[in-house]
């Protein structure tokens, strides 16, 4: 279970077609994006942990200056709610019957994502079709020298980008990317569905009861 929590902490459109012909990037201020999780590169994990990851779904919600990222698996769930206006974030975790809530100030959020400071992005001419859209390849190189591949849709820029800190300077919407843990294992996320229907404001409500408060 500790391995699952550690790996999750590192990650610490069908309706788009009418706009797909626009030349200039369009701000995407309301959407829900589902991602599949590919763990084929993971090594050294027991079968239970691997099966847990295979059954995991990542969902991103964006509404104006608010975002929420859910990781849902059979035995563990994590939600990160981020407010661009304040720079603050809240992390909700559920492990069995135990629920935990951590509030992060804007400074704490930046510190939590310090690994992604001084990241460089190299965009390439190589493309890949994801959900029927032509995405461009980019290579993300972290300050520690780790390089990760990703594909983004340059026609759309999310209205809030800092919730996935490593992509905050990328000129587009990320639809596929790699994440690497401290042991060098790669996890790949690929968008499987995009919906631009209105996102319920309740998705960004912060629970006031039922959670144990953890310090930053």
Catalogue all structural domains in the chain, each as residue range(s) with its CATH number: 2-197 (2.50.20.10)
Query: What does each C-alpha distance from 157 to 10, 122, 170, 194 come to in angstroms?
Result: 23, 17, 9, 14
Whole-number pLDDT of residue 19: 44
∠27-149-129 over CA atoms, to 5°? 60
CA distance 136 to 160: 20
Token pair recorded at residue 77: 């769930």
Provide the residue-wise pLDDT of the chain in tens; the chain has 216 residues.
555 444 444 443 333 444 444 568 899 999 999 999 887 665 666 666 666 666 789 999 999 999 999 999 888 899 999 999 999 999 999 998 999 999 999 999 999 999 999 999 999 999 999 999 999 999 999 998 889 999 999 999 999 999 999 999 999 999 999 987 666 778 899 999 999 999 999 999 999 999 999 976
């Amino acid at each position: 279970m500790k391995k699952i929590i550690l790996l999750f902490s590192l990650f610490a459109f069908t309706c788009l077609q009418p706009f797909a012909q626009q030349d200039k990037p369009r701000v995407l201020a309301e959407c829900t994006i589902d991602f599949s999780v590919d763990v084929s590169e993971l090594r050294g994990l027991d079968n239970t942990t691997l099966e847990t990851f295979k059954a995991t779904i990542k969902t991103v919600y964006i509404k104006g200056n608010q975002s929420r990222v859910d990781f849902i698996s059979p035995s563990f769930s994590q939600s990160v709610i981020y407010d661009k206006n304040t720079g603050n974030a809240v992390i909700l975790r559920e492990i069995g019957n135990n629920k935990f809530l951590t509030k992060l100030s804007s400074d704490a959020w930046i510190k939590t994502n310090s690994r992604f400071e001084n990241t460089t992005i190299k965009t390439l001419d190589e493309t890949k079709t994801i959900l029927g859209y032509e995405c461009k390849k980019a290579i993300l190189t972290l300050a520690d020298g780790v390089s990760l591949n990703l594909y983004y849709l340059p026609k759309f820029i999310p209205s809030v980008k800092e919730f996935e800190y490593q992509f905050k300077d990328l000129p587009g919407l990320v639809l596929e990317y790699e994440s690497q843990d401290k042991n060098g294992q790669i996890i790949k996320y690929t968008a499987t569905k995009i919906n631009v229907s209105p996102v319920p404001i309740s998705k960004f409500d912060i629970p006031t009861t039922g959670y144990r408060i953890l310090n930053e």
